[in-house]
Structures are given as structure tokens and as C-alpha cells.
Amino acid sequence: MNTFLTYKKMLAALILMPMFGVSNSEANSLFNSQATLGFTIDSISNVNNPGDLSGLAILASFEQAGSPTSYLSTTGNGSGIASNPSVSEVSVTIGNPFIHTFSANGNVSSGTVEASNVGRYSLALNNTSATDDYKVNLTLTYNLLANASGEFADSDVILDVFTNDNPLLGNIFANADALNFPNAGANGSFPQYTFDVAHGSSLVFSSDVTINGNLQASPVPLPAAVWSFLAGFMGILGLKKRKTGSGETV
């Protein structure tokens, strides 16, 4: 009998130790969002000297904006990551697109995360000719993905398109929130753009992608039912012990 009671005590201890050691569980919130852009030169024509494209160079680049344009603010146990290496002056030719993905994510188990990260895409059209003007047709494709999950999570992916002389050629966005739309996206292309690049001039076609994330999470107390179970379990063990003790006395 004593061996049986000892076994019961050890079993109870094993069950109770982890439960008493952790008074709260954790609720996690996170976002994981990205944008993939593709820049394709559909055609180039020389207005003055048809067929000669030697005077026009088209270079693509990407960089992630630094502080304060991009920022991260956290409290408690929260973090955010946006590590996107720069891409410098990649030559773009007709039919060979420049494609690049920009991404950011964050998570929190107790506290808050507020993050905003900006990725800047540029397509520089440089006409070095002293006499020839060029007409360029290009297409911009996009695939925006926003994901948010947890106690409270929200993420936006915003795309703005412009040139150095036109502040708004188009924009589009995707928004995800953990309660209603945890996964959101936008996939397609803008209507074909046409640009005239005069001799000796340059034009910069730009796209800014902003990825925002707002998260909140707090420790969640263990349900009252758990503590009721523990109290009842301890009572049963005590009752069995008393009955066993009475049996040994008789």
C-alpha cells in the first residue's frame, strides 16, 4: 500500500509542477507581407533615326529606405525584420524584365509592434544622344501579399507609381487583418506606360512599396476550469490517502 501511495504522490507532483510553474499562456500576433514587381520594356523606337537604339540606356535599381522613412517601434516581447539588399543599376533590355521581391515581417507574444518599411524601385531612362529622341513603352506588373494572424494583427502593402515629373501614375494596395481578412492580395498589371525621352535628357520611372505592420498581444491567464480541475484532483488524492490509511489501521 505504501508503494501505491508513493506512486500516486509522484504522479501528482509531475502533473502539478509544470502547471504551477506557468501561470499564463501566450497569445502571439504576427504579420508577413511582401511585394513582387516586374518592369518590362515592351518596345523602344527612335523618332529621328529608326532602328538606332544606341543612345538610350535603361537601368533598374532597388533600395530599402532607412530611418526615419522606415521605422520599427516595439514594446514587451516584440520584433520586426525587413532585410532587403540593394540592387544597383541592372541593365534592362526589350522583353527582359527586371523582377524583384521586397518583404517584411514581425511578431509579438507580449506587447506591441509598429513597423513601416519602404522599398524603392527605379527605372532610369537615360538618353545620351545629342540628336535622337526615343519613345519607350513599358509595363509594370505587381503581386502584393499581406498576411496577419493572432490576437490583434494588421498589415498593409501599398504600391505608388510616379516619375520625376508626375507625382502619381497609379497606386494599389492590399490590407490584411487577423479578425476579418487574414490573407489579402492584389495581382495584375497597370496599363502600358508610354514615355518620350528627348535627346540629352533623362526620365526616372519609380515605384515605392510600403509595408506596414501593427501587432498587439498580451499574456492569457489559464482558464478557471484548469484551477478547478487541480483543486478537485488534489482532493481526490487526499481522500484516497485517508481511506488507505484507515484500511491499514483495521
Tens digits of residue pLDDT in 1-19: 454 444 455 445 444 444 4
Q: What is the pLDDT of residue 120?
A: 98
Higher-scoring residue by pLDDT: 66, 247: 66
| Band of pLDDT at residue 228, cut at 50, 70 and 90 | low
pLDDT value at 250 more than 80: no
CA distances from 80 to 63, 95, 157, 214, 250 (A): 18, 37, 15, 10, 68
29 against 20, higher pLDDT: 29
Q: Give the mean model confidence (pLDDT) for residues 161-180.
A: 96
Residue 161 confidence (pLDDT) = 98
Instruction: Give which of 204, 177, 171 is closest to 61, Cα–Cα.
Output: 204
pLDDT of res. 112 = 97
- Determine the pLDDT at residue 27: 79
Average pLDDT, whole number, for the chain?
Answer: 86
pLDDT digits (tens, 9 = 90+) for 42-51: 999 999 999 9
State mean pLDDT over 86-106.
97
> Would you list the DSSP string of 109-162?
EEEEEEEEEEEEEEEEEEE--SS--EEEEEEEEEEEEEEEEESEEEEEEEEEEE
pLDDT confidence of residue 219: 72
Find the mean pLDDT for residues 212-240.
Answer: 64
**For residue 180, is pLDDT > 80?**
yes
pLDDT of residue 21: 45
Determine the pLDDT at residue 205.
98
Mean pLDDT of 43-68: 97
Confidence of residue 141 (pLDDT cuts 50, 70, 90): very high
User: What's the pTM value of the predicted model, to 2 decimals?
Assistant: 0.79
* pLDDT digit string, tens, across residues 214-227: 999 997 654 554 44
CB-CB contact of 104 with 34 (8 Å): yes
Residue at grid coordinates 520599427: 72
Q: Kind of pairing, strands 152-163 and 202-217?
A: antiparallel
Residue 104 makes CB contacts below 8 A (sequence gap 6+) with: 31, 33, 34, 80, 81, 82, 115, 117, 211, 213
